[in-house]
Chains A and B, each alone.
Chain A
Amino acid sequence: MTDPDILIVGGGLHGLCAALHLARAGRRVRVLEARQVGAQASGYSAGGVRTLGRHPAEVPLALEAIERWHGIADLVGDECGFRAVGQVRVAETEAELASLAARVERLRAAGWTHEELVDAEMVRRLLPAVAPHVLGGIVARRDGFASPLRTTRAFGRAAEAAGAEIIEGARVAAVERRAGLWRLRTQGGETHAAPLLLNAAGAWGGRIARAAGETIPLGFNAFQMLLTEALPPLLTPVVGAAGRPLSFKQSEGGHVMIGGGHKGQADLDTGTVRLDVPRLAYSARTALDLFPALRGARIVHAWAGIEGVMPDALPVIGRSAVADGLVHAFGFSGHGFALAPVIGARVAGLLLDGPEAPALAAFAPDRFTLGGPAPETHPALLQPAG
């Protein structure tokens, strides 16, 4: 490739989706990935495709994204393992059920009807194996899940087919803006330059931003997941809980995935994670409490991916407040997978001098330096990672 028009730092789902849209718009795009495509959160996610329980600021994006998921093969030429099995959030107490009912009412008042309050009988029709103490829940029937690594690779292939260049093993070590160009030096000593830069570096996005002169309060988590051995069919929809972190689903092969937000310890310098066994154990307990049929199951795999998280659990999406030609898209706080098909298009629009979209205002990079994020009166439900 001749000199690129746009450099993208991060070969995860959001970076690759933006690369796809930019390349299809005729731009020369180069993606610099420190390790391999999907090496961190994008490849380790639980793969939830969820409109259910979203923060109101994310609801419009999530609703737009779910439409794209239902035609994902049209976008990237691969079904991405997407299964529209629905998502259910169950209530274990009357207080939780009341909270879910109030949320559905608030959404309806705002014109959103994708979440449906259901009673215990309907929950049991959707989830025959659920524990008898479950009192009801909410359902988003068009939601589902997909295969994260397959999805990320599909976006990568589609971006390359459109002309984007993806360089793996290119860890960015220095960033500077000079003579109208972003100049990035990698650990290997190579230099890449372009007028435009997209920071899609996930948990490392705060470091890229700081190097560009912008302080964004990004932290990080190592969200832990468990997988059982292959089991007979136990459930079809993805399940969450209103009162405790849980993301629970069964793959086509029968493996039951248990995640939701319990954390291990990560090291950003090495990219390594250390699992926290007692917290893994509590994930197992939650799953067992809700699905007693799991009592005889065995755990065959446990892992964690490193995800950037913001203090308000909302992503950073927007033009830099301090630097020309820089757009950020990171900090998805454990629930960005489902949004990717939309975020890539929006980010591409920002890089191609599109107008600032009002729908992105809540995600502004400078929202913590301009008096803090907007007060939120209708927060999200507990956000399960993935």
Chain B
Amino acid sequence: MSTTATPRIVIVGGGPAGRAALTALPGAVLIARPDATAWHAEPGRLWVEGGGRVWAEPFDALLVCADEPLLLAALGCAVRDGRVVADAEGRTGVPGVSAAGCVAGATTPETAERQAIAAARALAAGSTGPEPLVTPPAESAAPLRLDPVALAALLEQPAGSERDRTALAQHAILGAVVPARPVSLAALADLVATMPEAVPPQADAGVLA
């Protein structure tokens, strides 16, 4: 997370919505395929692959304008009928995470642009989502959990609404389905040169509740 006074804003998506958002947020970082692919997200950090390497893109605010529901679901955003739930200013209910465009339900490029501009202006005004949305009903859970190999077979299919819908139904059972997009093993391997220091097991002093 940035410590500068100016929030670091990252936009994902190079389509009409992403470009419109960047126009309204000229200081933002744009992550757009094919040069850079956002493949995983965690609070305050977007994981990106591009140019044969993997890196973490820190953010104070994230505006996802690409059709990446798994990326937003990994951050805890509510998803309903395959679309991320967001208010009129793109706020998802997860502080600092906004969405616009197809992923937020836009059905035309014009609507996507309007959503993106509204979300970008809200972020420029410093509105990063202090008012969480009311959490909607969760995505319908799949009747049966897939084992990891079966889930891998699903996730290696081209991204699309059918694949994402099935993956999101697993998300409702399993939690985050990772990665949102495949990532190069070699590029990931290059992220670290030495074995990370061993960490002890997590301690548990909890009680039944």
Binding site for B on A (CB under 8 A): 36, 38-39, 43-44, 147-150, 172-175, 187, 203, 206-208, 210-211, 218-222, 225-230, 244, 251, 253, 255, 257, 262-263, 265-266, 268-269, 271-275, 277-282, 284-285, 287-288, 294-303, 309
Residues of A with C-beta under 8 A to B125? none
Kindly list chain A residues whose C-beta atoms are within 8 Å of the C-beta of B186. Answer: 284, 288, 294-297
- Which of B174, B200, B202 has the most A CB atoms < 10 Å from its CB? B202
Q: Are B208 and A302 in contact (CB under 8 A)?
A: no
Task: Indicate if the CB atoms of A282 and B196 lie closer than 8 Å.
Answer: yes
Q: Shortest beta-carbon distance, A237 to chain B, in Å?
A: 18
Please report the C-alpha to C-alpha distance between residue A247 and residue B186 in the assembled complex, in whole angstroms. Answer: 18
Contact flags B145-176 to A (C-beta < 8 A → 1, else 0): 10111011101100000000000000001110
Complex interface: chain B residues within 8 A of A269 (CB): 206, 209
Are A210 and B207 neighbours in the complex by a CB distance under 8 Å? yes
Complex contact B189–A207 (CB within 8 A):
no
Structural contact, B204 and A300, CB atoms closer than 8 A: no
B145 touches A147 (CB 8 A): no
Name the B residues within 8 Å of A279 (CB-CB): 196
In the complex the two chains form, what is the Cα distance from A10 to B179 in whole Å?
29
Given the contacts A147-B149, A227-B149, A277-B47, A301 and B192 also touching, CB distance less than 8 Å: no
Q: Can you list 9 residue pairs at the A/B interface with Cβ under 8 Å?
A: A253-B149, A271-B175, A278-B196, A288-B189, A298-B184, A299-B188, A300-B156, A301-B152, A303-B178
Interface string of B41-62 (1 = CB under 8 A from A): 0100001000000101000000
Q: Is B183 an interface residue (CB 8 A)?
A: yes
Chain B nearest CB: distance from A256 CB in Å? 9
CB <8 Å contact, A301 and B178: yes
* Inter-chain contact A44/B178, CB cutoff 8 Å: no
CB-based contact B145/A299 at 8 Å: no
Q: A173-B209, A298-B184 are in contact. List 11 more A-B contacts (CB 8 A).
A: A36-B145, A211-B208, A229-B152, A251-B149, A255-B149, A265-B202, A277-B47, A278-B191, A282-B192, A282-B196, A298-B183
Q: Closest B-chain residue to A303, C-beta based?
A: B148
Alpha-carbon distance between A277 and B40 when the two chains are bound, in angstroms: 9
Nearest CB of B to A279, in Å = 5
**B199 interfacial contact with A, CB 8 Å:** yes
Cα distance, A208 to B189, chains bound together (Å):
40
Q: Enumerate chain B interface residues (CB-CB to A < 8 A).
A: 40, 42, 47, 54, 56, 145, 147-149, 151-153, 155-156, 173-175, 177-179, 182-186, 188-192, 195-196, 199-204, 206-209
List 5 tightest A-B contacts by C-beta distance, closest first. A219-B201, A149-B147, A281-B191, A285-B189, A227-B152
Tell me the minimal C-beta distance from A386 to chain B in angstroms.
11
C-alpha gap A274/B74 in the complex (Å) = 10
Of B147, B152, B189, the residue contacting A281 (CB under 8 A) is B189
| Alpha-carbon separation in the docked complex, A284 to B182 (Å) | 14
Question: Which residue among B54, B152, B184, B203 has the maximum number of chain A CB atoms within 10 Å of its CB?
Answer: B152
Report the minimal beta-carbon distance from B56 to chain A, rounded to whole angstroms.
7
With both chains docked as a complex, state the minimum distance between the C-beta of A85 and any C-beta of chain B, in angstroms: 15
Alpha-carbon distance A300/B175, docked complex (angstroms): 16
How far apart sit A301 and B208, CA to CA, in the bound complex (Å)?
Answer: 32
Q: B177, B178, B190 — which one has the most chain A CB atoms within 10 A of its CB?
A: B178
* Complex-state Cα separation, A185 to B201, whole angstroms: 29
| Max chain A Cβ within 10 angstroms of own Cβ: one of B54, B188, B209 | B188
Q: How far is the CA of A175 from the CA of B190 in the complex (A)?
A: 49
The answer to whether A172 touches B195 (Cβ under 8 A) is no
